[in-house]
Amino acid sequence: MLLKEEREQIVKYGKIMIDRKLTVGTFGNISVYNRDLDLFAITPSGFDYYNTNPEDCVVLKPDGTIVEGERKPSSEVDMHRIFYQRKDNINAVVHTHSVYATTLACLGWSVPQLHYLVAYSGSEVPYIPYVQFGTYELAEACYDAMGDNRACILGNHGLLATGKNLPYAMDVAEQIEFCCQLLYNCRAAGKEPILLTDEEMAVVRSGFGDYRKS
Ligand SMILES: [Zn+2]
């Protein structure tokens, strides 16, 4: 079986994504790229995370060709593979429908530098207006908006998070969800949050050690 370790990691982190309340039902998806083999594994379409086994994951080339797997790959496969095709420092992608990120997605809000944990993504987390789910157009819109960031708010949809490996990408998804909740709480209190400066954020990013390699 190709990418056995990556498949096992996806199954493990799928359960973590549910346990941390980062998505609902079968929605959201996870992939891991093996740069040496130039192949990636992704969650199958429409499977409950607690009933997904390593053999249910699908292995593809970054150009979208299926190499191994009986199941249908996640409908958002383009949103994953576009990063493996174009970025040399992204080896995992996590897409969630976490509640606060999705609330902001419905309000059309990006996430300003209101907390130092925004540095998990980079700087202000961009927002893109709604694009039909499961399309290459959505994948391109995410890619274009993301720039050097690690996360993006998908209008009327959810959150996309990336990283050098799957634990990091899941941390991005979790910490940006936390920052989304903070932003919602601040505005629910009728105030705009006090923002960190670019200089302060640069210090945080350098303190994250290997962040730049992520
Ligand atoms: Zn989705």
Q: How far is CA 168 from CA 63, 93, 163, 185, in A?
A: 24, 10, 5, 26
Burial 183-207 (b: 16+ CB within 10 A, else e): bbeeeeeeeebeebeeeebeebbee
Catalytic residue (choose from 5, 6, 8, 76):
76
Query: What are 58-70's pLDDT values in tens digits?
Result: 999 999 999 999 9
What CA–CA distance (Å, rounded) separates 162 from 32?
A: 10
What CA–CA distance (Å, rounded) separates 33 from 180?
A: 27
Nearest CA to 146 out of 181, 184, 172 is that of: 172
Cα(6) to centroid(ligand 1), Å:
21
What is the pLDDT at residue 183? 98
What CA–CA distance (Å, rounded) separates 134 from 187?
A: 31
Helix (H, G, I), strand (E, B) or coil at 47: coil
Give yes or no for residue 213 having a pLDDT over 50.
no
Query: What are 146-203's pLDDT values in tens digits?
Result: 999 999 999 999 999 999 999 999 999 999 999 999 999 999 999 999 999 999 999 9
What is the pLDDT at residue 214? 46
Active site (annotated) includes residue 70: no
Average pLDDT score, the chain: 95
Cα(14) to centroid(ligand 1), Å:
14
Query: What residue spans define the domains of the chain?
Result: 4-213
Q: Which CATH architecture has domain 4-213?
A: 3-Layer(aba) Sandwich (3.40)
Do you know the residue count of the chain? 214
Query: What are 106-152's pLDDT values in tens digits?
Result: 999 999 999 999 999 999 999 999 999 999 999 999 999 999 999 99
| 166 within 8 A of 94, measured Cβ to Cβ | yes
